[in-house]
Amino acid sequence: MGNESDPWQTQTGRYIFEALKWASQQCGWPSTCDQNLPKYLKRNIRAQVVGTALGYIIRQRKGEKCEDKDLAYADHYLQTRIMVACHGPVACAITMAVIVPGYEATKKVKEIQGRPEDMKSDDQCSRPVPADLTSIQWGERGAADGLYDWTSDSIDLMKNSVKSTFPQLRRL
């Protein structure tokens, strides 16, 4: 399974890296070696890469792979990352406080009712993987990384503004 203290060393992390690498290539950008896309990519390009990576993961979830929890976690990570990368800080707060835990709680209720298929999100899999805390953790991690994607342009703009206002700080 990998080193549990470093989530990126798990199968879920490997699926995410594989998807981001593939998506970067498809979008005409250098491959990334981890979840952090190159800093020079602007917000809209980051969102494009993450959205393409999500499509890659969704296409993997067919047949026997419908039961693959690590693919489901990667899907949840990329779903929340793209939501926040496109919609910003308010989406991050809503995603982390309501959407991610609410989705898992609703899945758990449907499992208890014996109707997990009510929660299927696509026509590829007849039902979602069972609800658990790891899914929430990956969803929250995706939201946090999506917030970085959203703010990456703002950070660069702020640095450039500070550099032009205070020339002695050009070393930033």
The reply to whether 62 falls in a domain is: yes
Q: How far is CA 47 from CA 20, 58, 64, 93, 128, in A?
A: 11, 16, 29, 18, 25
Residue 16 lies inside a defined structural domain of this protein: yes
CB burial of residue 154 (10 Å; 0-12, 13-18, 19+): exposed
| pLDDT tens column, 149-161 | 888 776 555 555 5
CA atoms within 13 A on the CB side of 47: 15
- Say if 33 falls within a structural domain: yes
- The reply to whether 2 falls in a domain is no
Summarize pLDDT for 134-144 with one digit per residue, the tens: 999 999 999 99
Residue 100 has pLDDT above 70, yes or no: yes
Q: Is residue 1 part of a domain?
A: no
Contact 11, 1 (CB under 8 A): yes
| Share above pLDDT 90 across residues of the chain, in percent, rounded to a whole number | 53
Domain region containing 137: 7-169
Q: What angle do CA 60, 46, 80 make, to 5 degrees?
A: 55
**What is the number of structural domains in the chain?**
1
Cα–Cα distances (Å) from 66 to 44, 105, 122, 124, in that order, read 30, 20, 11, 8
pTM of the model: 0.84
Is residue 154 included in any domain, yes or no?
A: yes
Quick check: is 78 in a domain?
Answer: yes
- Other beta carbons less than 10 A from residue 8's beta carbon: 14
Mean pLDDT of the chain: 84
